[in-house]
Amino acid sequence: MALTSVKEIIKPTPPFASLTDIASERLGGKVLYATDDFFAEKENLLKPGRGIFIADKYTDRGKWMDGWESRRKRTPGHDYAVIKLAATASVTGFDIDTNFFLGNHPPYASVDGANLSDTDIAPDWENNEIPWQEILPKSPLDAGSQNFYACECNEVFTHLRLHIYPDGGVARFRAYGDVFIDWENVSENEEMDLVAALNGGQAIECNDMFFSDMKNLIMPGRGINMGDGWETKRNRTPGNTDWVILKLGHVGMIKKIIVDTCHFKGNYPDSCLIEACHSDNDEKVKSGHVIWQVLLPKQKLKADHVHEYEHELIQTDTITHVRFIIFPDGGISRLRLIGKIKK
């Protein structure tokens, strides 16, 4: 059983944690296999949040834990789980989170990667012929904490294999990186959501995300609840505006914009405005050293509503980034920028 009296080790969050978690269940990541998940299901690894602890909750197999937990190994070897990424991607870093696993966490972990086509994938994940390569060597894990490790490999992968030595529990597993798309095979006539996370879009900076994360704006589907969006705190400053900067997956032209206030009823923004720019340098964009052009003039918003804009758009040159501004504060569930790439 995990002991809640042990103090969590707080570690600084590395810059790579601002990238897309390309293993996330919300994006489409899946845990396909685990050698053992006797105490807690392997699928918990990719769920949102860091996991919770309920002191008096038990199952017929033992203490209920919000993570992946294998039984105590009494034979040689160790446990591992196979994860299918939401999209082909490069990996910049990991978070192997042992939150609430204190007397039962693994002392070490490592990660392998493989780039597999659909025809390469066999149901037998213990097959030694799968071309795994180590991308995180065996590394120590602290109990009850986020364990951040950078990945130095520049290749792209479709699957990861998380090893724990020899057994135990991990609350969550995050693999941060960049979605890879072979844009040479994408037609300039194809319309797509150029800011979607699965198309390589990224939320790179905002002035406030007190209640929920800016990354939610570009997640697949509609928001599942009010927490599944970008929501700022109530601001008492007269004339306040809140904003988020989003990077497109590829330079392009926007033809249609969708602003969805799903679930936001008493806390949606009064109105919004969208500006755009073209830059090959994210830092210049974030620091304001670019020329912003109005893409969507200021528009009134409604509660819990899908707003679609086409004729309202002001034609700009090709763009790489947008600045989504809300007046004066509040919550937006999703933002879609439908357009075509320019090569």
Residue 7 counted as domain residue = no
Bridge partners (DSSP) listed for residue 258: 308, 336
Query: Last residue of a domain, which of 164, 179, 194?
Result: 179
Provide the pLDDT for residue 129.
83
Residue 4 counted as domain residue = no
257, 337 in Cβ contact below 8 A?
yes
Q: Are both 212 and 303 inside the same structural domain?
A: yes
Low-confidence ranges of the chain (pLDDT < 70): 1-10, 119-123
Contacts of 288 (CB under 8 A, 6+ apart): none
Residue 221 counted as domain residue = yes
Q: Are both 65 and 24 inside the same structural domain?
A: yes
Provide the pLDDT for residue 10.
64
Q: How far apart are CA 210 and CA 286, in angstroms?
A: 19
Residue 243 counted as domain residue = yes
Query: Last residue of a domain, which of 149, 179, 209?
Result: 179
Q: Are both 191 and 113 inside the same structural domain?
A: no
Residue 2 counted as domain residue = no
Query: Last residue of a domain, which of 179, 198, 233?
Result: 179
The position carrying tokens 């939320």 is 203
Measure Cα distances from 302 to 20, 184, 208 in Å: 29, 39, 21
Contacts of 128 (CB under 8 A, 6+ apart): none
What pTM, to 2 d.p., does this model score? Answer: 0.91
72, 38 in Cβ contact below 8 A?
no
H or E element: which one contains 287?
A: helix 282-287
Q: Are both 207 and 165 inside the same structural domain?
A: no
Bridge partners (DSSP) listed for residue 193: 338
Q: Are both 172 and 241 inside the same structural domain?
A: no
Q: Are both 312 and 195 inside the same structural domain?
A: yes
Q: What residue numbers bound the domain in which 143 lies?
A: 15-179
Residue 284 counted as domain residue = yes
Q: What percent of the chain has pLDDT over 90?
A: 92
Q: Are both 226 and 296 inside the same structural domain?
A: yes
Q: Are both 307 and 323 inside the same structural domain?
A: yes
Residue 10 counted as domain residue = no
Looking at the 3D structure of the chain, how many domains does it have?
2
CATH number at residue 228: 2.60.120.260
Q: Are both 219 and 109 inside the same structural domain?
A: no
Separate counts of helices (H) and strands (E) for the chain: 1, 22
Provide the pLDDT for residue 42.
98
Provide the pLDDT for residue 295.
98
Residue 111 counted as domain residue = yes
